[in-house]
Amino acid sequence: MTTTMTSHTIAVLVNDQPGVLQRVSGLFGRRGFNIESITVGQSEEEGLSRMVIVTQGDDKTLEQIEKQLYKLIDVIKVVNLSSKPMVARELALIKVKSEPAERPEIMGVVETFRAAVVDIGTNSMIVQVVGDTEKIDAMIELLHPYGIRELSRTGVTAMIRGNA
Amino acid sequence: MSAQIPAVRSTEQLREKWMKPEVITGSEILLRSLVLEGVECVFGYPGGAVLYIYDALYGFKDFHHLLTRHEQGAIHAADGYARASGKVGVCIATSGPGATNTVTGIATAFMDSVPLVVITGNVVSSLIGTDAFQEADITGITMPITKHSYLVRSVEELPRVIHEAFHIANTGRKGPVLIDIPKDVSADKTLFEPVQSINLRGYNPKVVPNQHQLEKVAAAIKEAERPVILAGGGVVYSGGHEELLEFVTRTEIPITTTLLGLGAFPSGNPLWMGMPGMHGTYTANQAIQNSDLLINIGARFDDRVTGRLDGFATHAKVVHIDIDPAEIGKNVKTDIPVVGDVKTVLELLNPLVSRSDKADAWRSQISQWMADKPYKYKDSDTVLKPQWVIELLNDTTKGEAIVTTDVGQHQMWAAQYYKFNQPRSWITSGGLGTMGFGFPSAIGAQMAHPDRLVISINGDGGMQMCAQELAICAINNIPVKVVVINNQVLGMVRQWQELIYENRYSHIDLAGSPDFVKLAEAYGVKGLRASNKEEAKQAWKEAMETPGPVLVEFVVSKEENVYPMVTQGSTIDQMLMGDCE
């Protein structure tokens, strides 16, 4: 068992009950587990939601996180996604300052990243970008010089590749 | 003044009576469901948000309701009932302050894995979230200290919720479950049909262990030269004490039992080494530290047991048997994990194990330690020593009483000097260390066992945290023998200040405490006091001969310390031996 701190992506299938997010996030907080990002939404089954949590920790911490999550009555299943090849995506909306003269330049960045412009104002535009965390970080870095007015990221949602 | 203590009775006929489908209120559903769950006794305190429930309780005779004088008294009593009986303890409190007054008791039960169903009222659904009068988000507040909780949103879900709550509380690793019922839900009506089935997809406690792991344990026992068993509260809760005795009899492995495991193994057995850890025996701690195989059966490697973790049992291969997989590897690295119910695990393990001659030298070493370094104190003929008082209680009851304690020095002396021979006869707040627990928990224990002798041992500090419940003993003639070991200070705090904080005795003097004899008498309970051995024998004899509740105050030496002691940050073999030297 290693003690290296690594990033782990965990999917947690939970009963869609009021307070379930509080139970899960509260468990992380009080047991000293880190949450880098947490997303939650409907799953393929009615009445169940899927949370995707990105956390940092060594293998021992990860084992405790999984075991402690299973103690919650509303938790149906815990899957360590990062133990297998996975697809991980997050979405960001970036409102960037853009005087008309700068727009073509920004559009160039947007196209290169296969992002999209979803709103244009008189001197700003909203860029929507989907991808893994690194891609979004890179996009933000590139847009930074133009002046980012507002930034909203969703956190990671993820799935194991193939039939698993 | 004295209603007799209500007799606990069979609920079979009551079940028949309440099974028929009928349109009734949420409050009536609650009461009927409690009866159907086998509840015999409920501890509670009414208030605005539970008035419909208390209205339904008016004249209701199918279980007992005891009105405590504080919700903390109610929940500790429910806890004591649960620990003494093995059944689920039930407590009712109103919304807001009523509910928050139960928080300490819920946390106490959670830390010690005690099955409780805590019913709180809440403001009407439409007012939830508006900071209404006496509103508190009790499900939110108690989320970290409950096994599960429900905020009931409609009367239709109430029967299912109650049934699930009892199931969750008393299966797997046991624990408290909270049901928060808004006032309108307790007033609304619906067709009540008792729920028969449970459908909880995410909840399947693993009771039966993996056979392959058991074989590994058996092989490890065969090879071990210095094996030790560390048994905890899980043995008591699973009802596996007979299987444990068989396991020890077959293997002749020396055994130590944790604070919550006291009574899980007969103290008279020559292989029992006493309690381990901070105030444990020299033998138990040396045995753990020198062992090559440590078999943990239903204990959770609490820091009061392990001391400094990086120096704990460093030579031992560790077997950990626990129903809660999250406990395995949480504190101590485990070589052979066994997930399952202790009783079931031992039933399956016993046929695979036998005595190994390889451990013979070890057995003699342990006997030698036990002979050389037993618990000891310097007795006195001028002042009363607290250890002597515990020995007096032990001698006169032959270890047959149910003993509850509060928290502090008296708790440790009781654990050290009272000799427990059966499970569920020792009730103490281990994990949370809750002052105020000792006395009300005895009321619950006595309700569970009306015919047994129940002794509640308290310090003068903790006694003042729930002393108001003397009223319950008087009014219901609950014959608890309440012992107050009075040393006029917060003794355990004093001990730490003496040993670790260089005699800087900061705010430990309990001057201004009431005259405990008069306090008891003010509530209609007989009070007695003793300051020397003769008086002590006399007072205790009188207490035992008096039917009904009695409070006996033993005025003891102020300077006495609990020894041995492992200070924080030390490994458990680095013990201050004090008078045990």
Interface confidence, given as ipTM, is 0.92
Q: A159 touching B, CB under 8 A?
A: no
Provide the pLDDT confidence category of residue B4 given band limits of 50, 70 and 90.
low
Q: What is the dihedral of CA B568, B574, B578, B581, to 10 degrees?
A: 160
pLDDT digits (tens, 9 = 90+) for B228-285: 999 999 999 999 999 999 999 999 999 999 999 999 999 999 999 999 999 999 999 9
* pLDDT at site B11: 63
pLDDT digits (tens, 9 = 90+) for B226-239: 999 999 999 999 99
Maximum pairwise Cα distance, chain A: 57
Q: A31 touching B, CB under 8 A?
A: no
Name the one residue in this structure whose structure tokens are 């620990």: B83
Q: Within 10 A of A140 (CB to CB), how many other CB atoms are there?
A: 17
List chain B residues with CB under 8 Å of A67.
Answer: 325-326
Nearest CA in chain B to A75: B202
Which residues is B92 bridged to in the sheet?
B44, B119
| B122 touches B135 (CB < 8 A) | yes
B200, B324, B329 ranked by CB distance to A73: nearest: B200
CA–CA gap between residue B254 and residue B464 (Å, rounded):
40
* pLDDT at site B243: 98
| B359 touches B224 (CB < 8 A) | yes
CA–CA gap between residue B49 and residue B466 (Å, rounded):
24
* pLDDT at site B1: 35
pLDDT digits (tens, 9 = 90+) for B153-170: 999 999 999 999 999 999
CA–CA gap between residue B84 and residue B383 (Å, rounded):
34
List chain A residues with CB under 8 Å of B200.
Answer: 73
Q: B140 touching A, CB under 8 A?
A: yes
Does B205 have pLDDT greater than 90? yes
* pLDDT at site A1: 47
Nearest CA in chain B to A31: B144
Does B2 have pLDDT greater than 50? no
Q: Do A73 and B144 touch (CB under 8 A)?
A: no
Q: Do A67 and B325 touch (CB under 8 A)?
A: yes
| A31 touches A55 (CB < 8 A) | no
Measuring CA to CA, how many Å separate A5 from each of A2, A69, A133? 9, 20, 18
Nearest CA in chain A to B205: A71
Query: Residue B414's closest CA among B484, B500, B366, B367?
Result: B484
Measuring CA to CA, how many Å separate A108 from each of A114, A115, A138, A144? 10, 10, 14, 15
Does B321 have pLDDT greater than 80? yes
pLDDT digits (tens, 9 = 90+) for B77-99: 999 999 999 999 999 999 999 99
pLDDT digits (tens, 9 = 90+) for B379-406: 999 999 999 999 999 999 988 999 999 9
Q: Do B326 and A70 touch (CB under 8 A)?
A: yes
CA–CA gap between residue B488 and residue B234 (Å, rounded):
36
Query: Residue B349's closest CA among B269, B244, B237, B265?
Result: B244
List chain A residues with CB under 8 Å of B144.
Answer: 26-27, 30
Query: Residue B105's closest CA among B459, B444, B482, B513?
Result: B444
Does B44 have pLDDT greater than 90? yes
pLDDT in tens, chain A (164 residues): 456 789 999 999 999 998 999 999 999 999 999 999 999 999 999 999 999 999 999 999 999 999 999 999 999 999 999 999 999 999 999 999 999 999 999 999 999 999 999 999 999 999 999 999 999 999 999 999 999 999 999 999 999 999 87
3-state per-residue secondary structure call for chain A: CCCCCEEEEEEEEEECCCCHHHHHHHHHHHCCCCCCEEEEEECCCCCEEEEEEEEEECHHHHHHHHHHHHHCCCEEEEEEHHHCCEEEEEEEEEEEECCHHHHHHHHHHHHHCCCEEEEECCCEEEEEEEECHHHHHHHHHHHHHHCEEEEEECCCEEEECCCC
Q: What average pLDDT is seen over chain B?
A: 96
Mutation choice for A interface testing from B330, B333, B334, B339 by most A CBs within 10 A: B330
Mutation choice for B interface testing from A71, A74, A78, A79 by most B CBs within 10 A: A71
| B77 touches B469 (CB < 8 A) | yes
List chain B residues with CB under 8 Å of A15.
Answer: 201-202
A26, A70, A76 ranked by CB distance to B201: nearest: A76
One-letter amino acid at B88 equals V
Q: A15 touching B, CB under 8 A?
A: yes
Q: A30 touching B, CB under 8 A?
A: yes
Beta strands in B224-311 (DSSP E): 227-231, 255-257, 293-297
Determine the distance in angstroms separating the CA of A11 from the nearest CA of chain B, rounded to an integer. 15
For the record, the structure tokens of B537 come out as: 């024998």
pLDDT digits (tens, 9 = 90+) for B500-542: 999 999 999 999 999 999 999 999 999 999 999 999 999 999 9
Does B410 have pLDDT greater than 60? yes
Whether the ω angle into residue B386 lies within 30 degrees of 0, i.e. cis, is no
Q: How far is CA B95 from the centre of its chain?
A: 26
One-letter amino acid at B69 equals R
Name the one residue in this structure whose structure tokens are 């009445």: A47
- pTM as predicted: 0.96
Determine the distance in angstroms separating the CA of A161 from the nearest CA of chain B, rounded to an integer. 25
Show the CA angle centred on residue B459, arms to residues B488 and B408, nearest 5°: 105
List chain B residues with CB under 8 Å of A30.
Answer: 144
Q: Do B202 and A60 touch (CB under 8 A)?
A: no
- Coil vs helix vs strand at B44: strand
List chain B residues with CB under 8 Å of A22.
Answer: 140, 143
CA–CA gap between residue A137 and residue B133 (Å, rounded):
48
Provide the pLDDT confidence category of residue B139 given band limits of 50, 70 and 90.
very high
DSSP state, residue B149: E
Query: Residue B110's closest CA among B384, B344, B431?
Result: B431
Residues of B designated catalytic = 71, 133-134, 183, 492
Q: Phi and psi (nearest 5°) for B160?
A: -65, -45
